[in-house]
Amino acid sequence: MPRKPRELSPTGVYHWISRGINRKNLFHGPKDYTFFLGLLGEYSKKLGISVYHYCLMTNHIHLLIWAPDIDSLIQFSHFVKRRYAYYQSKEYKVSGATFDRMYRSKPVGGDIYLLECARYIDRNPLRAGLARHPADYAYGSYRIYAVGCESGLITKSPAYLALSQTEVERQKLYREYVTQPRPQEEFASPTSIGL
């Protein structure tokens, strides 16, 4: 049965997700994360992609990106994953697939969903039990938005820019939005059920 064509986003924004094959780890140490972030920077510039948010987990990746067209999105995904797989096979002397074959790209429409998707991505390390606060996780975009850390990779999201006229106020509002607990999240968190 042929694969369904990718769903196009009317805004050009996608929540991009890719996992390690059989949920195996993609990243084993700081140099792996650094190398992958370098690939994101290289191919986003080459293909006119804007990276709004990212979170590199040990065995999967979340990106919130804007692509000018579906071909750019496909090329971006292909080259980033191919180059990283080559790096990992050379670095760790492993053979076989690195990633699950397909990446997922969920269309994101409207500023409210864009902000909610950003929150989901930046809170990922909390749900996985890798950090107690989003600012504690080094391989995500939270600190860029919440406290103004510099990044040559990130293009500030339109939803973030619409929060306020000033950067200081935007950072404050973003911190509150992302860190505000929600009862349904507390109920389902790994720590609340002893995982």
The whole-angstrom separation of Cα 65 and Cα 67 is: 6
- Is the distance from CB of 104 to CB of 166 less than 8 angstroms? no
- What pLDDT score does 186 carry? 52
CATH number of 13-181: 3.30.70.1290
Total-model pTM: 0.90
- Is the distance from CB of 101 to CB of 91 less than 8 angstroms? no
> Mean pLDDT of residues grouped by 10 in the chain (195 residues)?
72 96 94 98 98 97 97 96 96 90 89 92 94 96 95 95 96 96 57 34
For the chain, the helix, strand and coil percentages under 3-state DSSP, each to the nearest 5 = 50, 15, 35
User: Which run of H or E residues covers position 37?
Assistant: helix 30-47
- What pLDDT score does 189 carry? 43
The whole-angstrom separation of Cα 187 and Cα 148 is: 31
Length of the chain: 195
Q: Where are the domains of the chain?
A: 13-181
- What pLDDT score does 195 carry? 30
